[in-house]
Amino acid sequence: MLKDVASLIIKHTAPSRRHLTPELVLRLVTPSCPLWTAKEDQVPFKDPFWAFYWPGGQATARYILDNEEIIKNKRVLDIGCGCGAGSIAAAKMQAKRVVGNDIDLYAVIATKINSQLNNVAIETSTDNFIGAKCEEFDTILIGDMFYDEEFANILFEWLISLTASGKTVLIGDPGRHGLTKKRRQHITLLAKYRLPEESCMENYGFTETALWKLN
Ligand SMILES: C[S@@+](CC[C@H](N)C(=O)[O-])C[C@H]1O[C@@H](n2cnc3c(N)ncnc32)[C@H](O)[C@@H]1O
């Protein structure tokens, strides 16, 4: 079953470096893939978020790759890892432990495939950590998860509780509506990036992305 999932992911994606972190090669659905122009009923995956490298995830991985000290020797949990770029960047920058987490099995398999492509070892999990104390982690990565208002409410409250217990929470986000003005009062901007052209095409309306730290 897992082998079948991996084969299907490899069949429908292509290795890409056309993003903010070209030092990472990631299997994604690119304009060269038939799925890029496929109609919804031709797509063999339900909501394949993992097949794209979201602006928030790109900011998270870019920042980590440029700022080793924020991740070195840390135990890192990448919530909603998607294609796995945040996890891979953390492993490359010498995190002590990295868990790529996504409730979508396809995402964690894509993360495994991409971690092997980049020669790093990471653990994966499909558990739902939202609400958990995460005692075994120091740093939580959140790449582009503020796209849904209802989920944003639950997510942000949980993240606040994690910082209160001493964890570092890094949020990559291009300005999604769930990261409201009120919530932005609780976060500090660490870096802003211009998105490459191909990412702008995929993310109509966003030309920039940013990395924030929860206060
Ligand atoms: C917009 S994608 C972002 C993926 C990746 N972080 C990036 O920036 O490229 C959001 C991801 O969150 C995952 N997700 C949604 N709810 C989740 C939850 N409660 N726990 C873990 N992952 C979740 C989705 O399956 C999806 O892969």
Span from the CA of 54 to the centroid of ligand 1 (angstroms)? 10
**Average of pLDDT values for 192-203?**
87
Candidate of 103, 106, 195 to mutate for ligand 1, largest count of ligand atoms within 8 Å of Cβ: 103
> What is the pTM assigned to this prediction?
0.97
Comparing 101 with 203, which gets the higher pLDDT? Answer: 101
Q: Which domains does the chain have, with CATH numbers?
A: 2-214 (3.40.50.150)
pLDDT per position as a tens digit, 7-53:
999 999 999 999 999 999 999 999 999 999 888 888 888 899 999 99
Is the CB of residue 109 less than 8 Å from the CB of residue 5? yes
Determine which residue's CA is closest to atom 13 belonging to ligand 1: 80
Nearest-10 Cα torsion for 27, 30, 34, 37: 140
Residue 25 tokens, joined: 């090669």
* Closest by Cα among 51, 22, 23 to 202: 51
Ligand 1 centroid to residue 110 C-alpha, Å: 13
CA angle 192, 84, 195 (to 5 degrees): 30
Name residue 211's beta-bridge partners. 172, 191
* Residue 39 or residue 59, greater confidence: 59
Q: Quote the pLDDT of residue 200.
A: 82
79 lines ligand 1 (CB under 6 A): yes
CB-facing half-sphere around the CA of 94: CA atoms within 13 A: 7
Instruction: State pLDDT tens for residues 100-156.
Output: 999 999 999 999 999 999 999 999 999 999 999 999 999 999 999 999 999 999 999
212 touches ligand 1 (CB under 6 Å): no
| Nearest protein Cα to ligand 1, atom 19 | 128
Residue 155 C-beta-side C-alpha neighbours within 13 Å: 24
Residue 141's nearest CA partner among 177, 98, 189 is 98
Give the DSSP H or E segment for 192.
Answer: strand 187-194
Strand ranges, E, within 32-94: 75-79
Which atom of ligand 1 is nearest to 55's Cα?
Answer: 8
